[in-house]
Structure formats: structure tokens, C-alpha cells
Amino acid sequence: MFIKDIFLNKRLTISFELFPPKDDKNFEGINSTIEELKKLNPDFISVTYGAGGSSRSRTIELASIIKNKYDIETIAHLTCITSSREEINGILNDLKLNNIGNVLALRGDIPKGFIIKESFKYAKDLIYEISQRKDFSISAAAYPEGHVECADIGKNIEYLKEKVEKGADFLITQLFFDNDNFYNFREELYKNNINVPIVTGIIPVLDKRQIERIAALSGAVIPQKIKRIMDKYEHSPEALKEAGIAYTSEQIVDLISNDVQGIHLYTMNKHNAVKEIMENIQELRKIVNS
């Protein structure tokens, strides 16, 4: 199923992100995580590509397990900056063979010292390439707080519009913690006639070092409220987890109450906190989609 079609019948989607484990041993373990996540009734699970050092071929392997073994709709992330047209089409062919019809089309980060020489300079070029095939639903990345290489929100919106014009059916945002920044961004999208569904990327606050590292990499603003929680409980993991789950649940309640079309949780391949957060919003989910 094309994920773009889910938005036609549902006002709110719930989805998760997984990354492919690096080695075979952990790869086996991911099955139990998917089993637990399946119980939470996600609309889809996305699988990262090459991020965090994971092997690229494992993206297709994991997406295929999610789709074909667990019967959960999936999105395979795909980056293009270091790939030739031939390589990209080879991957797309493999995805098709594995019954995977949804791709998150990304440029990817530019490796240090890399000279851009191939066909795909920006994500929009990849989006256009995929759209010509007509056999994938395409999503693209959006940056409510700007991109690390381009803080200018206006420019980012201009580039985002190009991605939609080239064929992106819906958008998934970079993680953020401050909902007001997202609401301002959404207003700007509407003003610029970008009307495709926007799924909001949210990461549970569970570990101070992890959140600081990810925020530094992604450029996400950490609000004072989270800083205080993390500083106070950084040496008490259970207390930080409890406070973090409360914060993230409240963040999601506010997003749902402000009519977002999707919540996409960056699970970091852990299901316990995700389960608790989902329990905290189960009635909201029912009401919104009733």
C-alpha cells in the first residue's frame, strides 16, 4: 500500500522509525522489537539508510521483514549524494522486488572532503528520479527549525516546495522539542501553498547525552524545560525516563490537539518507552480517528 493513501482515510497516523542493527546477532533481536511495536498498531514503520554506520543493504532486509513477515507498512529511507543513477535504480529495483512501495528520499549528509560529481545534488533530484518510475509513494524531509547547513527558514521552505513539486507526496519532519516552532513553520508552509500531509518527528527524552548529541547533529533547539529535567535527573535513569516520558507524552498531546496529521517516533530501536507513551495517548488516538 502507498502510505500517501493512508492520509486519505485517517486524520492522524502513528508511526515509528527503526535503524538496521550493525551485526547479525542484533539483527535477530530486532524481531522482538518489531513484535512489540506491532502491538501498538502503527500505520507504518520507517527504516533508516546508512545512518549511524549501519550497512545500507540491511535497510532493505529490515524493511522487508517489517513488510513481508510482520505485515506492517514500511518506508525505506534512501540517500543519494554519494550514489550514481545506476546504483539508485538498482536499490529501487530491489525494494520493488521486496514488495516495498514507499521511500523517504533524502540527499544524505555530505561526507568530509567529498566532491559532488554525480547526478543527485539535492533530495529534489532523487525525488524526481523516483517519481518517473510511478511505482513508489515518496516522502521527503522537512526542517521546522532550519537545516544545519541552512538556518534560513524561508530558503528551506523554498527548497521544500521544490521537493513537493518534483513528486514528494508527504513530509516527515526533523525531530523537534518545541511545538511552537513547528506551528510557525506549518503556517509558512500553508502560506506557500505546500499542502501535502506533514508527519511530525518526535524523539522520547530518555537519556541526556543521547538527546544532546542528536540535538547538536540535527540542530534541534532543546527548551529550558527539558534542560532542567535532564540536568536534575541525569544520574537517575529511571527518574529521567519517567520525567522524559511525561514530557514527550505532553508534547504529543499538544500536537494532536493542534491537528497534526502524523506522529513519527524515533524509537532508537527501543520499545518500552514508546509503549508507555502510546498508552498515554490511546484515547486521543481513538477519538481523532473515530
Q: Assess whether 17 carries a catalytic annotation.
A: yes
Query: Could you say whether residue 35 binds ligand FAD (CB under 6 A)?
Result: no
Q: Which of 6, 30, 63, 77 binds ligand FAD (CB under 6 A)?
A: 77
Residue 268 in the binding site for ligand FAD (CB under 6 A)? no
Catalytic residue from among 17, 73, 129, 145: 17
Nearer to ligand FAD, 40 or 214 (CB): 214
8 Å CB contact between 106 and 123:
yes
Near ligand FAD by CB under 6 A: residue from 45, 60, 141, 281? 141
Contact flag: residue 172 with ligand FAD (CB under 6 A): yes
Selected from 21, 42, 167, 201, the binder of ligand FAD by CB under 6 A is 201
Q: Does 241 bind ligand FAD (CB under 6 A)?
A: no
Q: Which of 21, 42, 50, 167 binds ligand FAD (CB under 6 A)?
A: 50
Candidate residues 109, 178, 242, 276; the one interacting with ligand FAD per rule CB under 6 A: 109
Contact between 151 and ligand FAD per CB under 6 A? no
* 139/249 with CB nearer ligand FAD: 139
List residues binding ligand FAD (CB under 6 A).
Answer: 48-51, 77, 79, 104, 106-109, 122-123, 141, 147, 149-150, 155-156, 159, 162, 172, 174, 201
**Residues classed as catalytic:** 17
